[in-house]
Amino acid sequence: MAETAVSFRRRAEQLVAHLPPLLVEAEHVAAIVAQGVHGRRRVGPGETFWQFRRYERGDAAAMIDWRASAKSTRLYVRETEWEAAESVWLWADGSPSMRFGSRLAQTTKLERARLVLMALAVLLVRGDENIALLGADRRPGTGSAALTRFATRLVRNSEGGPPSLPPHEILPRRAQLVLVGDFLEPLERLDATIKHFAGLGATGHMVQVLDPAEETLPYAGRILFDGLEREGAMLASRAEALRDDYIARMGAHRAELSRRARAARWSFATHHTDAPPQTALLPLYVDLAGQAA
């Protein structure tokens, strides 16, 4: 039976209940001292232009940009950035490959990615941070209502088999971005995603979630490997003969992805589904707080 958003959120809250209060506010204080203003930003009153968006019911008439609207048949409003707490944009890979789970773990990659991301959202909201689900939310929010909405959309979005990489949306400068997935895409596509968001000034955090079988290829004999994302099937007469080359390729892929992430000054970590979810959540939250060693 599919897990409901309520039970999903309850599991996430139980996961973070025992963790110490790793406060993101420490980063805020450092930014205030260094710049004289809050170092985190979100949509609101201010002078720095962020983007145009379509007018929605409830928007003040003063927000309408008539020059931009005159070029179209629709009304557009002009959004600026507020010198205040920046939002944290979260995304989990829900593509078919994430549904893989071997006998070496008790959960699929998708279930683990959603749990870690939801638990992180709980921690952030408890710290009065603004969160948004990349690709689903237009504006970030905080509080219990935002958390419930996030849980519902996180489950719903990953059920439809979305793309294995996030949409190249426009984020506010200095936004923080958390991407959780297996990242088994070609390096060129992964690099394009990193460069897109890094070029916007976003600070990124990547958590690669893998099943332990994907690291060790613990199979022997005649095995039919069937791609989960239409890669096709491959019949191996002696799967154990492929192991060394496979492990080397996996290691090289991860090492290069980590290098490209860190070149953009992003954090990168790998988490295996046979390990407790706290082992992924705690260092990720520390990285978000800017306290990583």
How confident is the model over 133-170, as pLDDT tens digits?
998 888 898 887 887 888 888 878 766 667 889 999 99
Q: What is the mean pLDDT of residues 82-104?
A: 83
Q: What is the mean pLDDT of residues 53-68?
A: 73
How confident is the model over 3-56, as pLDDT tens digits?
677 777 777 666 655 433 322 222 222 222 223 223 333 444 445 555 677 777
Q: What is the mean pLDDT of the chain?
A: 78
Q: What per-residue confidence (pLDDT) applies to 16?
A: 55
Q: What is the mean pLDDT of residues 198-212?
A: 95
pLDDT of 176 strictly over 80: yes
pLDDT of 83 strictly over 80: no
Instruction: Assess contact for 19 and 122: CB atoms under 8 A.
Output: no
Q: What is the mean pLDDT of residues 286-290?
A: 75
Q: Tell the burial category of 288 from Cβ atoms under 10 Å away from its Cβ (0-12, 13-18, 19+).
A: buried
CA separation for the pair 58, 9 (Å, rounded): 30
Domains for the chain: give ranges and CATH numbers: 5-30+84-288 (3.40.50), 43-82 (no CATH)
CA separation for the pair 16, 82 (Å, rounded): 30
Q: What per-residue confidence (pLDDT) applies to 70?
A: 81
Q: What per-residue confidence (pLDDT) applies to 198?
A: 96
CA separation for the pair 34, 38 (Å, rounded): 9
Count other C-beta atoms under 10 Å from residue 2's C-beta.
8
What are the CA-CA distances from residue 142 to residues 14, 85, 88, 92, 210 (Å)? 19, 11, 10, 19, 30
CA separation for the pair 59, 70 (Å, rounded): 18
CA separation for the pair 129, 81 (Å, rounded): 16
Strand pairing class (76-82; 42-54) = antiparallel
Q: What per-residue confidence (pLDDT) applies to 228?
A: 67
pTM for this model (two decimals):
0.72
Q: What per-residue confidence (pLDDT) applies to 58?
A: 62
Instruction: Assess contact for 221 and 151: CB atoms under 8 A.
Output: no
Q: Which residues contact 29 (CB under 8 A, 6 or more apart)?
A: none
Q: What per-residue confidence (pLDDT) applies to 22?
A: 25
Q: What per-residue confidence (pLDDT) applies to 209?
A: 97
89 three-state secondary structure: strand
